[in-house]
Amino acid sequence: MQRGIFATGFEELRPSPGGGLPSSTRVSRSSRATSRSTSSPTLGPDRRFRAGERGDRWTGAILGACHSPAGAQGSVARRRPPCYLGGMPGRDDLAGAEPVPGTGAAYLDPVVRAILDGPRAGGRDVPASRQVFVNRNLRLDKIEVVGFDMDYTLAIYQLLHLEDVAFDMTVERMVSRRGWPERLLQLRYLSAFVIRGLVVDKLTGNIFKMDRHNHVGRAYHGLTAVPKEERYRLYRDDRVALSSPRFAWIDTLFSLPEAALFAQVIDLEERNGPRLDYDKLFTDIRESMDQIHADGTLKTRVKADLPRFIQRDPELGPALHKLRSTGKRLFLLTNSHLDYTEAVMHHVLAGVVPEYPSWRNYFDAVITAAGKPGFFSSTAPFVEIDAAGNALPGEVRAFERGHTYTGGNRGDLERLLGAGGDRVLYVGDHIYGDILRSKKSSQWRTCLVIEELEREIDWLERHRVALEEVAGLEELRLRIDDEAAAHRAALNGVDRRLERLPGGDPALAALEAEQQRLKRELESLRAALREANARIAVLQGEVESGYNRYWGLTFKEGSENSRIGEQIEDYACVYTSRASNFVFYSPMQYFRVLRRTMPHELSALRLAPWGEEHAAPAAGDRPSKAPR
- Residues 247-273 pLDDT 10s: 999 999 999 999 999 999 999 999 988
> Of the candidates 326, 335, 325, which has an alpha carbon nearest to the alpha carbon of residue 153?
335
For position 105, what pLDDT does the model report?
80
The Cβ of residue 166 has, within 10 Å, a number of other Cβ atoms equal to 24
Q: Which of the residues in the chain have pLDDT under 50? A: 1-64, 70-97, 99, 606, 608, 612-628
For residue 68, the model assigns a pLDDT of 55
* Beta strand spans in 127-273 (E): 132-134, 138-139, 145-148, 198-201, 206-210, 216-221, 224-225, 247-250
Alpha helices in 316-428 (DSSP H): 316-324, 338-349, 410-417
pLDDT of amino acid 127: 85
Predicted confidence at residue 104, as pLDDT, reads 62
Q: How far apart are CA 204 and CA 182, in angstroms?
A: 24
Please tell me the CATH code under which domain 145-156+310-419 is placed. 3.40.50.1000
Do 326 and 176 form a contact (C-beta atoms < 8 A)? no
Contact at 8 Å (CB) between 207 and 237? no
Element (H, E) at 617: none
460-482 pLDDT, tens digit per residue, is 999 999 999 999 999 999 999 99
Supply the pLDDT for residue 439: 63
Q: What are the structural domain ranges in the chain?
A: 145-156+310-419, 159-306
Closest CA to 606 of 42, 74, 101: 42
Q: Are 257 and 289 in contact (CB under 8 A)?
A: yes
